[in-house]
């Protein structure tokens, strides 16, 4: 394992972001899935009963849930440290990495596995 040398503030931000991401994946996302399933069941029941008033309420609740989830995800993405790894099309990008750490990573991986992009 190779460490990523960062300052105290960046390390704290990275730790907070990772902790929040874990809470999102383990608690919030499953709760949203359960709520979505319940909304689908409620929508089907309302449709079978031909109850337009309840169907509209169910759709509004689903819309509010979607907006809250998207806003939460956006807020998590904005809290990320610049040092936080990002996956883009199967590649993992790290910004502002110490050159010595990159050289160690290059030595530990097969040739061509790690590319240095300056800029």
Report if residue 112 sits inside a domain: no
The reported pTM is 0.62
Can you give the residue range of the structural domain that contains 53?
Answer: 8-84
- 46 lies in some domain: yes
* CB under 8 A, 24+ apart: contacts of 15-18: 16/79, 17/76, 17/79, 17/80, 17/81, 17/84
Rounded CA-CA distance 15/93 in Å is 18
In tens, the pLDDT along 46-94 reads 888 887 888 888 889 999 999 999 999 999 888 877 667 777 787 777 7
Please give the tally of structural domains in the chain: 1
Residue 3: per-residue pLDDT:
58
Residue 39 lies in a domain: yes
The closest alpha carbon to 31, from 5, 52, 39, belongs to 39
58 in any annotated domain: yes
- Tell me whether residue 97 is in a domain: no
Question: What DSSP designation does 118 have?
Answer: -
Residue 19 resides in a domain = yes
Looking at the domain assignment, is residue 14 inside a domain?
yes
């Amino acid at each position: 394992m190779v460490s990523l040398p960062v300052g105290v503030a960046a390390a704290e931000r990275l730790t907070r972001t990772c902790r929040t991401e874990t809470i999102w994946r383990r608690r919030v996302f499953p709760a949203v899935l359960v709520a979505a399933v319940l909304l689908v069941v409620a929508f089907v029941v309302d449709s079978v009963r031909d109850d337009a008033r309840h169907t509209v309420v169910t759709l509004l609740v689903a819309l509010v849930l979607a907006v809250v989830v998207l806003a939460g995800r956006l807020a998590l993405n904005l809290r990320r440290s610049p040092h936080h790894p990002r996956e883009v099309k199967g590649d993992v990008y790290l910004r502002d990495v110490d050159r010595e750490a990159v050289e160690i990573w290059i030595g530990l991986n097969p040739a061509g596995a790690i590319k240095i992009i300056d800029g």
